[in-house]
A and B are shown apart, each in its own frame.
Chain A
Amino acid sequence: MNANFPHPAPQPTPDKSSLPIVHRKPPRAAVMVPLPGTPAAWPKVSLKKVCLRYRTNGSAPLEALKNIDLEVRSGEFLCVVGPSGCGKSTLLHLIAGLERQTSGEITINNRAVQGTGTDRILIFQELGLFPWLTVAQNVGFGMRMKGVPKPERESRIREYLRLVHLSQFKASYIHQLSGGMRQRVALARALATEPDVLLMDEPFAALDAQTRDLLHDELERIWAETGRTIVFVTHNVREAVRLGDRVLLLTFRPGQIKREYPVVLPRPRHLEDVHVAGAAREILNDLRAEIDKSLEAEYGDEARA
């Protein structure tokens, strides 16, 4: 057992407790093994040797992502952390189909990603809620685009507003809501199109600590209730450990997978929990090296002084 990760309360299931809490270098195959009761023959999301290079004027092309190999199980909560500029948002844009990789293959349910599609919905950091629509119209937008008939649309709007506890605000406009409420509208809007995969790009970064804690609980509850697959990008390692089944660390430019950390702490977890903090510290140590690299790239010699 890993000394850096004190085991939490005694585990009821012996087979689980025999697992180390964090694999330092987990064998790839272990990630692929479907959980008992998940019959999926292929991973929900799969990336094979995905690279993304940006052409720049004159100088060498910028390598944003390099050889990303990744598989996300159905129903898994995967968190991605990395220094700023590691391409973690870009990774989500690629999966969402908003950008196209230079090489490699991305599949959802074993089908190659071709542009955007409502089988995967991205929640942007800036949310991108539509200020000219009411809360209910925002939530119903994806369904309207898909051509879901109005009665079904309305019942689903009600259902998802109830799920995020915003039923009373269905007729409000976005600017009338607090940051946490807007966040929940974005979540309901994404869920209402009933995607297989939910992609979340630092969704809670701009919120105060209390609201964020509350939304962590809610997201976890909704995830458990709906059984969605979630890929969650954050720069907050503790948040990643709090929420994820697995945490992925990306390197600074070009973004590559540095290491994976399965998190086998019992849920619900708490952000302030010692075990969460302990697991986060381990990841943070590895992350620090990458942050140093990113600082050096940004500030050059000043960073070393």
Chain B
Amino acid sequence: MKRALRNLLFYAALIGAWALLARLRVWPPYLFPTPWGVAEAIWAGFADHSFWIAIGVSMRRMLLGYGLSVVLGIALGMSVAGSRFLDQTLGGLLVSLQSLPSICWLPIAVLWFGLSEKAILFVVVMGSLLSVTISMETGRKQLPKIYSMAGRNLGARGLKLFLNVTLPASLPYIVTGLKQGWAFAWRSLISGEMIFVTLGLGQLLMMGRDLNDMSQVVAVMILIVALGYIVDGLVFKTIERLLEQRWGLAAS
């Protein structure tokens, strides 16, 4: 309660200071938007459906791209953890590739796929694949052997063993990586959309710039932050709570 009050005061003060600065016209309005202008832009954006459409398009790309990189990352991480050869070769490459900002894959994506949905998916996948892979790999290595032995002993083998034992057992170890992967995917998507792809939140942001509409730029930025926050709070917090409840530990 106290915390909520503190936050309320903090944001009220922040918006107040913003309003004051805007009122004083230290900078011209096309460089420094007013809070009411931004609020109006958010309202207008939802009213004429342009925000809804952008959210829909961006989320669809996220789900496809992130989903793909989770599946690929788990498969790749498992193989790297399971093979000494892959671990010593590909493992090192994966770690070093992590230092490459995902937007650097954009030129390749455009040359391979043109200005298309496939190109943006490629960038999103490349943005999150590595963190999912690496966390799956370390998770698999840390996983106590007893679970798979117990699973085999009870008649689980191959894919059944993987789906019913290895994967759920490693979830606490990889949830951090999945979360990080989501954040990376989100960043890659917005950057990609800003640079070349039609529709989506990134493009809406650039449209604001093209129209010199600072209110819209800030409105879309707020939207992007809010969406990230909601997904984190709804999806990942739920997973973490579930893990905590089942395993009886604070999920890492």
- With A145-B160, A175-B248 in contact, do A193 and B169 touch (Cβ < 8 Å)? no
Measured CA separation A122–B168 after assembly (Å): 22
Q: How many A-B residue pairs have CB under 8 A?
A: 66
Residues of B within 8 A of A142 (CB): 154-155
Residue in contact with B248 in the complex, picked from A98, A131, A146, CB distance below 8 Å: A131
Is B245's CB within 8 Å of the partner chain A? yes
Of A113-121, A244-252, A289-297, the one with at least 4 CB within 8 A of chain B = A113-121
Residues of B within 8 A of A193 (CB): 154-155
Residue in contact with A121 in the complex, picked from B147, B154, B164, CB distance below 8 Å: B154
Is A141's CB within 8 Å of the partner chain B? yes
Is B53's CB within 8 Å of the partner chain A? no
Which chain B residues numbered 45 to 84 have a C-beta less than 8 Å away from chain A? none
Contact B152 A130 (CB under 8 A): no
Residues of B within 8 A of A144 (CB): 164
Shortest A207–chain B CB gap in Å is 18
Measured CA separation A176–B149 after assembly (Å): 23
Is A156's CB within 8 Å of the partner chain B? no
Measured CA separation A173–B247 after assembly (Å): 7
Measured CA separation A126–B150 after assembly (Å): 10
Which chain A residues numbered 72 to 126 have a C-beta less than 8 Å away from chain B? 96, 98, 116-118, 121-122, 124, 126
Which chain A residues numbered 161 to 189 have a C-beta less than 8 Å away from chain B? 173-176, 189
Closest to B247 in A: A131
Residues of A within 8 A of B147 (CB): 128, 130
Residues of B within 8 A of A146 (CB): 155
Measured CA separation A265–B201 after assembly (Å): 80
Measured CA separation A128–B147 after assembly (Å): 6
- With A116-B152, A116-B155, A130-B165 in contact, do A124 and B146 touch (Cβ < 8 Å)? yes
Is B156's CB within 8 Å of the partner chain A? yes
Residue in contact with A126 in the complex, picked from B146, B151, B157, B249, CB distance below 8 Å: B146
How many residues does chain B have at the interface if contact means C-beta atoms less than 8 Å apart?
A: 22
Residues of A within 8 A of B248 (CB): 131, 173-176
Shortest B245–chain A CB gap in Å is 7
Contact B169 A130 (CB under 8 A): yes
Contact B245 A189 (CB under 8 A): no
Residue in contact with A116 in the complex, picked from B146, B153, B168, CB distance below 8 Å: B153
Is A299's CB within 8 Å of the partner chain B? no
Measured CA separation A29–B147 after assembly (Å): 40
- With A145-B160, A145-B164, A173-B248 in contact, do A128 and B146 touch (Cβ < 8 Å)? yes
Contact A145 B154 (CB under 8 A): yes
Interface residues as binary, B152-180 with A (CB distance below 8 Å gives 1, 0 otherwise): 11111100100011001101000000000
Measured CA separation A145–B158 after assembly (Å): 11
Closest to B160 in A: A145
Contact A173 B155 (CB under 8 A): no
Closest to A131 in B: B247
Contact residues of B: prevailing secondary structure: helix
- With A98-B149, A131-B246, A175-B247 in contact, do A145 and B168 touch (Cβ < 8 Å)? no
Contact B160 A128 (CB under 8 A): no
How many residues does chain A have at the interface if contact means C-beta atoms less than 8 Å apart?
A: 27
Residues of A within 8 A of B146 (CB): 124, 126, 128
Residue in contact with A173 in the complex, picked from B153, B156, B157, B245, CB distance below 8 Å: B245
Indicate the member of B146, B153, B248 with the most A CB atoms within 10 Å: B153
Residues of B within 8 A of A124 (CB): 146, 149-150, 153
Contact A189 B152 (CB under 8 A): no
Shortest B186–chain A CB gap in Å is 27
Shortest B167–chain A CB gap in Å is 10
Contact A121 B247 (CB under 8 A): no
Residues of A within 8 A of B157 (CB): 116
Measured CA separation A144–B151 after assembly (Å): 11
Residues of A within 8 A of B153 (CB): 96, 98, 116, 121-122, 124, 128
Contact A128 B150 (CB under 8 A): yes
Contact A132 B246 (CB under 8 A): yes
Contact B155 A132 (CB under 8 A): no
Shortest B164–chain A CB gap in Å is 7
Contact B245 A98 (CB under 8 A): no
Measured CA separation A142–B153 after assembly (Å): 9
Contact A130 B155 (CB under 8 A): no
Residues of A within 8 A of B149 (CB): 98, 124, 128
Measured CA separation A128–B247 after assembly (Å): 13
- With A98-B149, A128-B147, A130-B169 in contact, do A145 and B247 touch (Cβ < 8 Å)? no
Residues of B within 8 A of A126 (CB): 146
Residues of B within 8 A of A130 (CB): 147, 150, 165, 168-169
Closest to B161 in A: A145
Indicate the member of B155, B164, B245 with the most A CB atoms within 10 Å: B155
A-B contact pairs, 5 of them (CB 8 A): A116-B155, A117-B155, A122-B153, A130-B165, A193-B154
Chain B residues within CB distance 8 Å of chain A: 146-147, 149-157, 160, 164-165, 168-169, 171, 245-249
The 4 closest A-B pairs by CB, nearest first: A175-B248, A128-B150, A142-B154, A145-B155
Apart from A116-B157, A129-B150, A131-B246: 5 A-B pairs, beta carbons within 8 A: A118-B155, A124-B149, A130-B165, A145-B154, A175-B248
